[in-house]
Structure 1
Amino acid sequence: MQELHFPKFPFRFKNSENKISIFDCIRKKFVILQPEEWVRQHCVQYLILEKKYPISLINVEKELKVNDLKKRYDIVVFNPDGSIHLIVECKAPQIHINQDTFDQIARYNLTLNATYLMVTNGLNHYYCQMDFKNERYQFLKDIPEYSK
């Protein structure tokens, strides 16, 4: 797999029927290693090991409804009170991040109401903080570390 712009993390791999899987510590199972999954697993490790978010507050690949359409978010980090702190949209490294990507995560956020948004293809990372009062987002250099 391609090297990404994240720190090096220790991953567990398994090869079964000529398919490589990577262990997802959130879902507690091996999942087929696709380019987007490679980015997602790096991002999960980044949130846990670098930003100190508790595993118990992180959710991966769950369904949500946006305008009566079934969608799946990549990563959500909850606040201890159950509200949503952060949504992460992961793309494969070869996918260019553009306005459509931000529109996608913004549509998800109409339902989820996260304070922070992150969009990454593993090579480029973009971070935003929502300004709900003015209905826009402000770009940040990084997302904040977890604070209790």
Structure 2
Amino acid sequence: MQKLNLPPYDVNLRKMDGKIHIFDPIRKKYLVLTPEEWVRQHFLQFLIHHKSYPASLIKMESGLKYYERNKRTDLVVYNRAMKPHLLVECKAPDVKITDKTFSQIANYYSKFQAKYMIITNGMEHYCFRPDASKLVFEEEIPEFSDL
């Protein structure tokens, strides 16, 4: 898999049914290793080990209904009161982050009302928050204690 613009970690891989799988410590299971899953797992580890987000407050691929369609957020971090505080949308490294990606996470925001949103493809990371009728981009991804 491609080297990402995220700190490396000790990846737990296993070959099953002829495919490589990566271990997800939140869901406590192995998942087929796709480029998007590679980004999702690296970003998860970044949040836990470099930004001090408690694993117990993170939910992976949380389902939601949006205009009668089933959708999934990649990663949701809750605060200690179990209210969504951070939404993360992950794309494969070769996927360009476009206005369409921002629209996608904005749709998820309308359901979750998290304080922060992050879009990443493992190479580029955008952290922002809504403020009145505009988006305010953060220079850095906040530490959990800053939420």
CA contact (8 A) 1:116 1:143 kept: no
Please give the residue correspondences for 1:55-94 in structure 2 after superposition, counting only pairs within 5 Å: 55-94=55-94
* Deviation sequence 1:26-70 (CA, Å, 0-9, x none): 000000000000000001000100000000000001211122221
Tell me the matched-pair count: 146
Distance 1:52 1:122 in 2: 19
Which ranges of structure 1 fall in alignment gaps of 5 or more residues?
A: none
% same residue: 47
Please give the residue correspondences for 1:53-132 in structure 2 after superposition, counting only pairs within 5 Å: 53-131=53-131
CA RMSD of aligned residues (A): 1.1
TM-score (norm 1): 0.95
Counterpart of 1:92, as a letter, is A
Distance 1:144 1:137 in 2: 16
Distance 1:66 1:135 in 2: 21
SS of aligned partner of 2:80: coil
SS of aligned partner of 1:143: coil
SS of aligned partner of 2:144: coil
Map of 2:133 onto structure 1: 135
Counterpart of 1:121, as a letter, is N
TM-score (norm 2): 0.96
Q: Any runs of at least 4 consecutive aligned residues in structure 1 with deviations exceeding 4 A, and if so which?
A: none
* Deviation sequence 1:80-135 (CA, Å, 0-9, x none): 1111110000000110001000000001100000100000000111110222xx13
Distance 1:135 1:57 in 2: 29
